[in-house]
Amino acid sequence: EVQLVESGGGLVQPGGSLRLSCAVSGFTFSSYNMNWVRQAPGKGLEWVSYISSSSGTIYYADSVKGRFTISRDNAKNSLYLQMNSLRDEDTAVYYCAREWAAPSNFDYWGQGTLVTVSS
Amino acid sequence: QSVLTQPPSVSAAPGQKVTISCSGSSSNIGNNYVSWYQQLPGTVPKLLIYKNNNRPSGIPDRFSGSKSGTSATLGITGLQTGDEADYYCGTWDSSLSAGVFGGGTKLTVL
C-alpha cells in the first residue's frame, strides 16, 4: 500500500524556520518525481515545489523562491521541505504528492501537515 | 489570482449532469496534460482524471474529462449527494516552470 506521511508542521513566528518531512512507503521512491502542494485555510490548492527522482531538477513557486528548499533522500525514502523566513501567508496545510504519468499529475497525497505562522 | 480559471460554484439536482470548466493558456493547458482532483470536505485531494481524459483505477465512469485548445472540462453524470466537493483542475505551466491549479469549483447537489 502506498503511503505518504508528512511531519514537522507546527506554530512558528514570522521570520522563523521549519523543516517538513514526508516519509513514503509502498513504492520505489527513487523512481518518482515528488512535489509539495499547500492549501491555506479555506482556500484552494497551491503548488509549492518539485524535485525530480534523482534531485537533478528542482522548481519552486515564485511565492517561495529563495526561502524554501526542497530535497530528498532516496536511501531513507524521504522528501523534505526546508522553510525559512516564514511569513503569515505561508500558513497552510502542506501536502507531499507523488507525480505520476504526466508533469504535475499527482496520484498519491499525504494527509498533510499544518504550518501556522503567527506571532 | 489563479493561473487557471474555474467557476467558483456549480449546482445541479441528483441524477443530473454537470460540467466544470477550466480555462488557461498555451503555456499550460494548451501544451500540457490536464488533471482533475476531487476534495471532499475535510479530506485530502483525490485524483479523478489524468492526461486530460483518463480515469485512474477505481474512479467510476460517471466522471469524464476533455480538453480543447486552452480549456478543459470535467463532466459528472448521475449526480449523487456524495459528489458534493471542491473540484480542482491542474497542469504544468511551461513558461512559469511551475505547477498550476485552478481556484477550485464547489459542487452542490441540490
Whether the predicted pLDDT of A77 surpasses 90:
yes
> Is the separation of the CB atoms in B38 and B85 below 8 Å?
yes
Contacts of A44 in chain B (CB under 8 A): 2, 86, 88, 101-104
Give A41's contacts in chain B (Cβ within 8 Å): none
| CA Rg value for chain B | 13
Furthest-apart CA atoms within chain B: distance in Å: 40
Tell me how far CA of residue A87 lies from CA of A54, A117, B7, in angstroms: 30, 6, 29
Cα separation, A74 vs B78, whole angstroms: 43
Of B91, B92, B101, the CB nearest to A44: B101
Nearest to B101 among A46, A60, A95 (CB): A46
Tell me the pLDDT band of A117, cut-offs 50, 70 and 90.
very high
Contact B2 A101 (CB under 8 A): no
Residue with cell 445541479: B12
Residue linked to cell 500558513: A91
Q: Indicate the pLDDT class of residue B1, thresholds 50, 70 and 90.
A: confident
Q: Are B19 and B12 in contact (CB under 8 A)?
A: no
Q: What single letter denotes the amino acid at residue B18?
A: V
**Cell matching residue B78:** 448521475
pLDDT at A43 over 90: yes
Task: Give the mean model confidence (pLDDT) for residues A52-76.
Answer: 98
